[in-house]
Amino acid sequence: MQKQFDLPADLLSGPFTLEQAQAQGVPRALLLRADVERVSRGLYRPAGWDFDLESAARALSAATPGAWISHVTAARLRCSCLPPWLSDSSELHLSKPRSLPGVRRKGVVGHTVIAAEDEVETVDGIRISTRSRTWLDMAKLLPLNYLVCMGDELIRVPRQAFEGRDTPFATLGGLRALVGRHPNLQGVVRAREALDLMRVGADSAPESLLRLAMLDAGIPEPELQLRLRDSDPLSPSADLGFRQRRLAIQYDGGHHLADAQSLSDRRRDKAFESAGWTVLVFLKDDLADGFDLATKKIKKALRSAWVDPAVASGFADAV
């Protein structure tokens, strides 16, 4: 009777390479059976496997020495801010140096690039472009506003208590230096434009998009993470605002609907209002319409708000 082989459990969870199968003692003939699908040269997966980006990227990385996961795939694995049409992308992007042959794998988007050693790293067994290099690579694929959002995410100062880190992923200076090393890279002009618009202090992509919408509407640039009491680190803060007009602007995303967060938000807003500030709160519906109505409300509030006489000159003309 012919012996039946089953795939080892380690190979059932996702794509695997020929080398990994042979290391598990799997005969090559088994890889020709109907319950195994050949993805591309030297790369297989169990038939009927539900797509998982991390597993697919890990297998592709292992099957392609010298190359690395990049662009949209790297951004998704990093949970970077992406527009809706890319946030669920199952594309597999792979970059190679010019010294290696171009990528010719079914279902893989290949890129031939120049990258320094410190622009690629290995994370959880996956060779992948660094966060900063991923941002630069995405400059040719993202519209300017989303490239700014992705950059703001890199340079924001994290909260140690919530994120387990207190150092930003990147700095404006570091990103400028990176852009300077690749003057001929496709998308580098947009990357330079994004650097001029990026700001430390945006805690979410909607906050960045709201700020950019305000600038597009001719509204003066707001302060970010604006404390009610400037010298008090425990003071309630607004996502954006204008101290000289006592105008606080909040973007409350989906997590703000939770009871505990909603109560905290009401206390925050009440503190500003009790101090004589106007508080504007915007929600996901405002994000959906590109903050068009929101910017109109902000302009109206700025025109009618109290003005600090010391800084009134010139501000009224801007709105």
Domain of 24: which CATH number?
1.10.10
* pLDDT given for residue 304 in this prediction: 87
* pLDDT given for residue 33 in this prediction: 73
Q: Is pLDDT larger for residue 253 or for residue 224?
A: 224
**Reported confidence tier of residue 318, pLDDT bands at 50, 70, 90:** low
The CATH number given to whatever domain includes residue 264 is: 3.40.960.10
163 DSSP β-pair partners: none
Domain containing 301 equals 201-319
Judge whether 299 and 217 are in contact, CB under 8 Å.
Answer: yes
Q: What is the DSSP string of 174-214?
A: HHHHHHHH-TTSTTHHHHHHHHHH--TT--SHHHHHHHHHH
pLDDT tens by residue, 61-110: 988 899 999 999 999 999 998 999 998 888 899 999 988 877 777 778 99
pLDDT tens by residue, 166-188: 899 999 999 999 999 999 999 99
Whether residue 33 lies inside any domain: the answer is yes
* pLDDT given for residue 96 in this prediction: 94
Whether residue 116 lies inside any domain: the answer is no
Whether residue 208 lies inside any domain: the answer is yes
Whether residue 43 lies inside any domain: the answer is yes
Judge whether 291 and 209 are in contact, CB under 8 Å.
Answer: yes
* pLDDT given for residue 3 in this prediction: 46
- Could you give the CA distance from residue 222 to residue 305 in angstroms, rounded to a whole number? 15
* pLDDT given for residue 306 in this prediction: 66
Whether residue 154 lies inside any domain: the answer is no
Whether residue 162 lies inside any domain: the answer is no
Q: Which of 140, 59, 143 shows the shortest CA–CA distance to 107?
A: 59
Number of domains in the chain: 2
CA atoms within 13 A on the CB side of 303: 8
Judge whether 62 and 51 are in contact, CB under 8 Å.
Answer: no
What are the φ/ψ torsions at residue 233 (nearest 5 degrees)?
-65, -15
* pLDDT given for residue 5 in this prediction: 54
Backbone CA torsion sign across 56, 62, 64, 67: positive
Whether residue 144 lies inside any domain: the answer is no
C-alpha 269 chain-centroid distance: 28
Judge whether 252 and 282 are in contact, CB under 8 Å.
Answer: yes
Interval 159-172 mean pLDDT: 89
- Tokens standing for 114? 């120049």
Percentage of residues in the chain with pLDDT exceeding 90? 59
What are the φ/ψ torsions at residue 113 (nearest 5 degrees)?
-135, 165
Query: Is pLDDT above 70 for 244?
Result: yes
Q: Is pLDDT larger for residue 311 or for residue 206?
A: 206
Helix or strand holding residue 85 (H, E): helix 84-87
Whether residue 133 lies inside any domain: the answer is no
